[in-house]
Each structure stands twice: as C-alpha cells, then as structure tokens.
Amino acid sequence: MLPIERKMKLLEQVNTTGKIEIDELAEQLNVSSMTIRRDLSKLEKDGKLVRTHGGAVSLQSLTTETPYVNKITLRVKEKRLIALEALKLIPEGASVFLDSGTTTLEIANIIKERNDLHIVTNDLNILQMLLHSPSNIICTGGNLQNGLGVFYGPHAEDLLRSINIDILFLGAHAIDIERGISAPTLEKAMLKKMMIKTAKQTWAVCDSSKFDKHSFAHVCNLSEINGIITDNLCIKEKMKKYENRISIIYAHGN
C-alpha cells in the first residue's frame, strides 16, 4: 500500500469510527507503529484529525465550547436537581470551589444565603450570583474569556497554588470512560488540574449529555476524583460501565 493510500485509509477509518488506535492500525495495515505515528502526525499537521495518546480522534468527534447564552437555557431543571444533591455534600464552615459552568451556577444560587462558607470561583457569572452572599467570596481573577465569563491564566493559577479547598465542584465539559474528563482548551484543562490538586474532595457536576464524549485537552482520569453528580436521564445500560469505575450520584426530582 502506498503512503498516500494508507493515509486515506486512516482518515476514512477515523471519520467513520470517531477514533483510531496506533497498535491496532499497525497490525491491520502490516506496518510499524512508528509508520502509523508519522502518518497521523502528517494528517494532524494538515488539519485532518487530532492526535491523542496512543491514537487519534476525528475533528467531528471533539466536543467544542458552547457559548454561555446557549448553555444557560439548557436542561435547567436537571441542573437545579444536581445542585440540590451537591448541597448535601457541603458541611458547615467548608471551603468550596465552584468551577465555571451553568451547573455550578445553580449550586451558587442554592448556597448564596449561607453565611458559614468560604467560596472560591473562577466564573464571573457565579460572582454576580454571590454578590450579596454573607459568606466569604474569593475570585481567582486572571484573563477573562469573552462570551463565557471564565477567568484563567497565570494569575488564577497563582491563587490556586496558595489555597486549600475542602470540596471542589468541577465543571465537566466531556466525560469518557477511558479518557476521563476533558476540556475545550489547554488553558482550561491546566486550571482544572490545579483545582483538583488543591481540593480534598472533587465531585464533577454535569448533566447526562456530557457522557461518552471527549474534548481537546485532558483534565483527569476518573480515578482522580471522588465521584460524579448527574441527572436521572442517563441510559442505565450506558452508565453501568461508569458505576464500576466511580461513585455516581443521580439527582431525582419529586
């Protein structure tokens, strides 16, 4: 098989299945793993796919950033129920980090009247929600992502290095059983990694639409967090594989 034919075969397969593995392809095409790696690197350079550890994924399979104005109206009831479950995990006098996101915004709405907490966030919308809260409110500061109201960058990272948090509610852009949690950008992934490192407990909060998806930048494996709080709209058969790996709390309505 000519190199150009091999690359076309790789591209066809990744666009069909969403992802490909180097070792499997090497065996299938009877070439070395190094040859497949070179082919994938060339295809990534040409903007045809995205390399991952051990393989590649199609551009279509990546979950991209959703504008805040679009997210705020999606699955509002489910996010509220998830927030009520999160509330049960927050002890009196706790230090809490609310990562950016519309689900964590619902948590902020529920705890804004409490006066016993230390609440840290990197989200401008959450700060506005907590504007009149009697609790101690801290903003990471940093570079502001336009359209989303999310702080990131060196200033936010410096603050994270200087604090210890009892419980982190991590916004999860995409969750995959093998790849773990991922984010749309390297900057966001880096900040989330640091949040996890500074927290005694980490719970990802997300609705059921985020499962079996992955985004550009790896945040953590499922084994690195305490659990996930999600809604009860998840397909039961699909969730069994996650339940075998990590604690799942399902939010149920009345």
- Collapsing DSSP to helix, strand or coil, 92 comes out as coil
Phi, psi of 200 (to 5 degrees): -70, -40
Query: Tokens 């992934």 label which residue?
Result: 189
Taking each helix axis from N to C end, the angle separating 22-29 and 3-17, rounded to the nearest 10 degrees, works out to 130
pLDDT band at 60 (very low <50, low <70, confident <90, very high): low
pTM for the structure as a whole: 0.76
- Predicted confidence (pLDDT) per residue in 113-142, tens digit: 999 999 999 999 999 999 999 999 999 999
Q: Please report the domains of the chain, with CATH numbers, ordered by start residue.
A: 3-63 (1.10.10.10), 68-251 (3.40.50.1360)
Q: Using the predicted structure, report yes or no on whether residue 66 has a pLDDT greater than 80.
A: no
Pairing state between β 55-58 and 19-21 = antiparallel
Letter string b/e over residues 15-43, b meaning 16 or more CB atoms within 10 A of that residue's CB: eeeebbebeebbeebebeeebbbebbeeb
